[in-house]
Each structure stands twice: as structure tokens, then as C-alpha cells.
Amino acid sequence: MTSELHERSALELSRALQEREISSVELTTALLQRIRARDDALNSVITVTEEQALKEAQAADALLARGEAGPLTGVPLLHKDIFCTQGVRTSCASRMLDNFIPPYDATVVSKLRAAGTVSLGKTNMDEFAMGSSNETSYYGPCHNPWDLDRVPGGSSGGSAAAVAAGFAPLATGTDTGGSIRQPAALCGITGLKPTYGRVSRLGIIAFASSLDQAGPMTRSVADAALMLNAMCGVDAGDSTSADVPTPNFLDALSGDIQGLRIGIPKQYFSADLNPRVATQIHQALGELTARGALLVDIDLPHTHQGIATYYVIAPAEASANLSRFDGVRFGYRCDNPQDLTDLYQRSRSEGFGEEVQRRILVGTYALSAGFYDAYFKKAQQVRRIISNDFKQAFESCDVIAGPAAPGVAFKIGDKTSDPLAMYMEDVYTLSVNLAGLPGMSIPAGQVDGLPIGLQLIGRPFDEATLLRVGHLFQESTDWHLQRPALGASQ
């Protein structure tokens, strides 16, 4: 039985725990052994918290024995290494924070702990969440379990790879411009970026404060709904946290999609999209129309302005957020600085990687007195136009659908020398963050044995509809049940 535990969904494991078919200690031990045995090939986990995990599993088993457990009690998960975890290193995959031990938990971490989950450790990521391939990590690139020569996507590539490989049924991720949905697509798992403000950002080390949003990364839509139930809720410590009702997302999975209007933007099926990926996406849409959905052509005319807009706003916010890492208060400090200027310059140039430095420089330039109006202010104006495009589109549809990424996972090293080519990986996801909308990627096919993702985009705070559509799709298909060689039973 133990050899099969890594293949079960979180809901299946929850039922097995509740029925005392297995113990949390048994489950946790099996997954820790799997990480130890297989992660050398993937490099998906930065820090394994074995001792803490087993203590949490023992506490979960005590709750289960007393009949006081909730649906997530005893279920293991992994956290992206951007979430502060009390007493556990939180590095953001950067030399700058290689020795940082937070004194508190992020709200998401504390909520999931309160729900009874067992934390196995922290996953690899692009440094400070800046990247689309998980190649900018100070700890080396993460590998895709479907093909170890390929990237898992980014920046939440470690979480995506770990879930796909069966290291944990659940993982947290963050999405600033597609960093949950794009790696979910490339690794063949389900990834949900909630509406901006739906999940607290307190304790998430900031990249771009108006764009960052935490969300679940799981094998199935049902598991994502289960996890989102625990993650959501207004947080008095986060001024951007939205005080809106939180439905039971598991209940939202029931019902049909008869007459549901799915908007298809022509801009999402342009020359940027791999034709074979396009074919798979159209076939996936056919599954939804077979369940009663209606396809509606829509126009998002400023889609391709999203990349330029994002890569002004996000670096500008990053340059402000990362100014605190100066070698003085915490984080990396250079050896033997000659003076204060030398301390700042060498601590930051040695502590930050190339991509982070590039974005800080771009952002600082865009915010400078001579260029603020020409770049940052103009980008904010275009951001509003992009948001209005979505508002107008939702007048004629209920959900928007298209690809999550323009192609399948690419080879490690293929795009590291061409930042613009790397940025194009997020062409279909960036605008969703600029507009603050919920978006989800679900497995929807394969090209040459590599997974692709169908992206679903919803109205603000309407994650329930996305989950219902995605769940019905997964009832009709088995793409979410496919496992890479490194994730199969062996």
C-alpha cells in the first residue's frame, strides 16, 4: 500500500486518513523517502524539514484519533521558498537570503498549518520569483520530471515538478505574471492563480506588490478547491487583502456548464502559439462544448501590449521592494567592505543574480525623475486599458479560455541568453495579473510526450466557476491522471 501513496490525490489521502486506513506518519515517511530517493535528479526541493514534518504528522494522527480532524489534517504539502516559515530557512532561491530564518509564518503558511497540513519542506524557484524556467535559482535549475533535459517552467517550477513527481499531493506557488499557471502547464498539473486580494500576501517576500498572488498547485481541480478553501480569507495584516465572502469551493464543483459561454480570444491563437499546441487546445475546448458549453469569439486587442506593460511595472515595483536588501539589516553581506558605498554595491552585486539585477536596473530607470512619465505612468495607463478589454469581453462570455503557454517545456539553456524570448513564455498569462483576474491551468493534452495546459480565466472573485469548468473537464478526460516516468510507480 505504501508504494502507492504518492499516486493518490489529496482528497483520496484525506479519506484514507479519516478512515484510519493509513496514518499521517506513514504517509509523511513515505513521501520523505521518495524525496530523498529521487530529488537529486530534479532539484525541486531546496530544504527538507523531516524532523518538523514527522512531529506535525504525529500531531495530526492524534487529532484524527480523537475525531477532531478537518479535511486537510495529516495531508503533506510543500511550500514555495518565497513564503516565510518560522524557524525554517526562506531563501527565495537567492544568495541574498541563503541564511535568512524568518521569525514568523506567512499567513498562507499559518492557515494551512491550522488546517492540519504537514509541511515537508521548501521548493526551488526562480530567484525572487523572477523567471519563467526555474533557471535563475542560486541552487541551480530545477528539472522537468517529464524530461530531465527540459525546464519545469517558472517561477514556481520546483512546486510544479515536485507535485508532478509525486513528492507531495499539494504545493503552494505564487503568480506575478504566470508563475503558477505556466509551470503547471509545462509539468502537467493543475495550478490556480486566485483573484488579486483573495489570498493574503503577508509573509510572501515581495516581487511586485500589485501583481503577486499566492495559489494552490495540485494534481486535480478538486484538490485545488480543497486547498483554496484553507488559503482564502481576509487578513487584517494585509491592506490588499479583499474583504469578500469565501464560498466553499468544493461545493462549487457540482453542477453542469450547460449554456456557459466560453470566450475564445483570437489573440491567443496567433503566430506565437505552437500549431500542435493549438490543435490540442481546440480539442480540449471540444470536450467542454460536448458538456453543453458555448464557444464565443471575443477580442482582447491589447494582449501583446501586456508584455511591455508588465516589464515596466513589475521591475519598477521590484526595484522598490528589493531596495531593503542592502547588506546592512539582514541577508547577504560582502566581505571586508571599504566603506558604505562599497558595502551596498558589492553586497547587492554579489547577492543578486543576473536576472534580478537586470530587473532592478530596468525598474529603477523607469521610476527615475526623467523617465517616470514616459515609462511607468504610461504603463499604468495601458494596464487600465488591458483591464477594460477583459471587462468588455466578459459582457459576452462567462469564462475565457486559451493556452497557458505558447509551447511545451523547452530545453534547459535554450533561452537563457535571450531574455526577450524568455519573457514571451508569459504572453498568455501576464495580462491576467495586470487585470487582477483569477486564472487556472489544467492538463489538456500532450505534444511529443510533453504536457500542455488549458488556461481558464474568470471574472473577479469567480474562482468557483473556473473550478467547476475545470472539474467537469477532468471528469471527461484523464490528462490530469497521466504521470511522468519520474512520477510513476517504480
Which positions are annotated as active-site residues? 80, 155, 179
Tell which residue, 97, 126, 140, has the closest CA to residue 351: 97
DSSP 74-137: T-EEEEETTB-BTTB---TTSGGGTT---SS--HHHHHHHHTT-EEEEEE--SGGG--SSS-S-
- CA dist., res. 28 & res. 33, Å (int): 9
- CA dist., res. 265 & res. 297, Å (int): 6
Cis peptide before 155 (omega within 30 of 0): yes
- CA dist., res. 76 & res. 123, Å (int): 14
CA distances from 347 to 129, 343, 365, 487 (A): 20, 6, 20, 40
Asked whether 153 and 118 are in contact (CB, 8 A), the reply is no
For the chain, the straight-line distance linking the first and the last C-alpha, in angstroms and rounded, comes to 13
Burial zone of 357 (CB within 10 Å; 0-12 exposed, 13-18 middle, 19+ buried):
middle
- CA dist., res. 192 & res. 213, Å (int): 10
Tell which residue, 78, 72, 75, has the closest CA to residue 25: 75
Q: Tell me if residue 172 falls in helix, strand or coil.
A: strand
Asked whether the CA dihedral 211, 176, 108, 87 is positive or negative, the reply is negative
Q: Given the C-alpha cell 453542477, which residue does it identify?
A: 255
Q: In what order do the strands lie in the sheet with 170-174?
A: 45-48, 118-123, 76-80, 170-174, 214-218, 190-193, 439-447, 450-457, 399-403, 261-265, 294-298
